Chain A
């Protein structure tokens, strides 16, 4: 092997090592950027991570790349093949290696002599081509990506992990609402129902428009449940409304849910004159004598089954006495309800008469 060829092979070996180094750097940089981004997301949404841990994990690809580079050995055949392909070697370098390595080949054959002469001219030309060939590291994009990832990670890892609020933002809503409902039931069983409390609607409005407030702890909820007074209710409503969302606001706004209380026909809008004496007696008979359950409570299904209906009680039916007929003129004219007023207006407007 002549000197120009040896020099060329050494130069090609260095170039191939640089190319592999560039490849390793590219891969490590991309991997580090990906690891930084992934661990930042983990920190934000899953679990709190330490900055040191994140950057130590990002250094792992670099260690692997360094180990890979250190383990690289470029054989001479590879240098020859690369020179043949990229430096216009026209397979001369590979042929030379095979000819030199072949012990049976006669080095004095015309073909070998001609090959050596050809290489004496071609090797310096190939070396010049190698020097003129730019080494393309192509590291700009991965380095940029890694810098962006590192900067974002450095900033976002300073933010404390929002694990409590974020993780409980959806799952905590249901238990709180249940607790609040339980507190409301307990309160209303003991006290008369709040008629459109002023604090609760305000809290609901605040919950719908105001900023988010910190959710109450379990102890606060228990205290509010046990207190059973209006102040506790208001405090509970005002504190839970924003955090628990719509359901919490509705429950704490004094709105009556189905089964919360006995139906006293107070909301029907009909006057006592329209109910009549018979209706009043029926309602009195149907009213529970004791503290019978008045709301749908799945936990007390047996109580509902055992409770007698109003018409099933013979004594109650016996207490109903037919009232004497009273002429309409003799009836006391009580206040006319809004439904009655609307009906009367419609009647008179339809008949063309005036009131």
Chain B
């Protein structure tokens, strides 16, 4: 893999580069192909990812590997209940100038990075969580009346633990909606565990990863993904899928009417198409297919719908309900 790839705007080259990134990550993060594809898709679609998984599944390792592969400047925030917003965004400190004067100087926080790993985000207080809202949506940080843009590309990888919920602050719906994907990190399979031992028993493979792309190429590929052709039928299909999750909609499917309290938002629709375009490029196409929308639908929608309380008590799962909706929608389109 060569870092100095010629700046060819063609789709075949982009397809090859994206697959190179995925292959490099899969060489380190063994047995997590779905997770790797999801993260790469989100990065090139300009989105943020919420990783949910048990401890020890390689979430932090994945973030480090991604930063190394894409040549991104990255930083890490370990969230705790006493973490303050200024610890994330930065603060002004009183400093003396060489001429003998003094002034307040803004010291950027860890958010000023191209790849921000927010570990165990649900252990931070809602105030600190909210400090990330502007950064994730507006790609800027406002402090003391001054807005400072974040470096590009900017991507937030947040992790959270589905267990040990005591002393945590679940993310509010508004913040969850800012994440393009919510990716669940499963346990690796038997073969993957065996191979993982060979790779990472005495070494940190992420430290030795080659750089496949640089940030400029990431931006260029992101722009190329935005030029993917989207037919009216695909747009209509995406709209129908979002409407199918909204129980109050006339186009809602019966599982949505039975189990979902709040459906997906318009931001979900935007995320669907943005990420599906990257999937099309990953598949070597310059046009969007309904299959691309279907491939990203679950990870785009699972944190944006809210089940009814009685359905949760009956044991229904968001993923199960959404999969049923997606299958019905896929038969129609």
A interface residues with partner B (beta carbon < 8 Å): 81, 84, 90-92, 94-95, 98-99, 109-115, 118
Distance in angstroms from A118 CB to nearest chain B CB is 6
A98 and B228: CB pair below 8 A? no
Knowing A90-B291, A91-B287, A109-B227 are in contact, say whether A81-B233 is a contact too (CB < 8 A). Answer: yes
Closest 9 interchain pairs by CB? A114-B286, A90-B289, A111-B286, A114-B11, A95-B231, A95-B287, A94-B231, A91-B289, A95-B229
Name 16 interchain pairs, CB-CB below 8 A, sorted by A. Answer: A90-B291, A91-B287, A92-B285, A92-B287, A92-B289, A95-B231, A98-B232, A110-B10, A111-B11, A111-B287, A114-B10, A114-B12, A115-B286, A115-B287, A118-B286, A118-B287
The answer to the question of B50 belonging to the interface, with a C-beta cut-off of 8 Å to chain A, is no
Binding site for A on B (CB under 8 A): 9-12, 224, 227-234, 284-291
Of A84, A95, A109, A115, most B-chain CB atoms within 10 Å = A95
Complex Cα–Cα for A95 and B277 (A): 14
> Judging by beta carbons under 8 Å apart, are B10 and A115 in contact?
no
B230's nearest neighbour on chain A, judged by CB, is: A95
Known contacts A110-B224, A114-B12: A91-B286 contact under CB 8 Å: no
Question: Which of A81, A84, A91 has the most chain B CB within a 10 Å cutoff?
Answer: A91
By the criterion CB–CB under 8 Å, are A91 and B233 in contact?
Answer: yes
Whether A91 contacts B10 in the complex (CB less than 8 A), given A115-B287, A118-B286, comes out as: no
* Bound: A90/B289 CA distance, A: 5
* A interface, over-half SS: helix
A residues within 8 A CB of B232?
94, 98
Min CB distance, B231 to chain A, in Å?
4
Known interface pairs A81-B233, A91-B287; 19 further A-B residue pairs with C-beta atoms within 8 A, sorted by A's residue number: A84-B233, A90-B287, A90-B290, A94-B233, A95-B229, A95-B230, A95-B287, A98-B229, A109-B227, A110-B286, A111-B11, A111-B228, A111-B229, A112-B286, A113-B286, A114-B12, A115-B229, A115-B287, A118-B287
C-alpha spacing A111/B228, complex, angstroms: 6
CA distance in complex: A118, B287 (Å): 10
Q: How far is the CA of A92 from the CA of B286 in the complex (A)?
A: 9
> In the docked arrangement, what's the CA distance between A118 and B233, Å?
19
User: Taking the nearest CB of chain B, how far is it from the CB of A151, in angstroms?
Assistant: 41
Is there contact, CB below 8 Å, between A110 and B9? yes
Look across to chain B and name the residue whose beta carbon is closest to the beta carbon of A99. B229
For B224, B230, B234, B286, the residue with the greatest tally of chain A CB atoms inside 10 Å of its CB is B286
Tell me which residues across on chain B come within 8 A of A92, comparing CB atoms: 285, 287, 289
A332 to B9, CA, bound (A): 144
| Chain A: minimal CB distance from B91 (Å) | 45
Verify A91–B11 contact, CB threshold 8 A.
no
Expressed in whole angstroms, the Cα–Cα distance for A94 and B290 within the complex equals 12
User: Residue on A with the closest CB to B286?
Assistant: A114
Least CB distance from B228 to A in Å reads 6
Q: Which residues in A have their C-beta under 8 angstroms from that of B9?
A: 110
Contacts of A114 in B (CB 8 A): 10-12, 285-286
CB distance from A191 to the nearest CB of B (A): 84
A91: chain B residues at CB < 8 Å are: 231, 233-234, 287-290
Complex formed: what's the CA distance from A95 to B224 in Å? 17
Distance in angstroms between the alpha carbons of A81 and B10 in the assembled complex:
27
Query: In the complex, how many angstroms separate the beta carbon of B12 from the nearest chain A beta carbon?
Result: 7
Q: Which residues of A contact B287 (CB under 8 A)?
A: 90-92, 95, 111, 115, 118
User: Bound state CA distance, A69 and B289, in angstroms?
Assistant: 32
A90-B289, A91-B289, A92-B287 given; A112·B229 CB < 8 A:
yes
Query: Measured between C-beta atoms, what is the minimum distance from B280 to chain A in Å?
Result: 9
* B285 CB contacts on chain A under 8 angstroms: 90, 92, 114-115, 118
- Nearest A residue to B290 via CB reads A91
Which chain A residue has the least Cβ–Cβ distance from B233?
A: A94
Residues of A within 8 A of B11 (CB): 110-111, 114
CB-CB nearest in chain A for B293? A91
| Nearest Cβ on chain A to B210's Cβ, whole angstroms | 27
Nearest residue (CB) in B for A109 is B227
Docked pose: A109 CA to B229 CA in angstroms: 10
Q: With both chains docked as a complex, state the minimum distance between the C-beta of A296 and any C-beta of chain B, in angstroms.
A: 72
The smallest C-beta distance from A90 to any residue of chain B, in angstroms, reads: 4
Chain B residues in 8 Å Cβ range of A112 = 229, 286
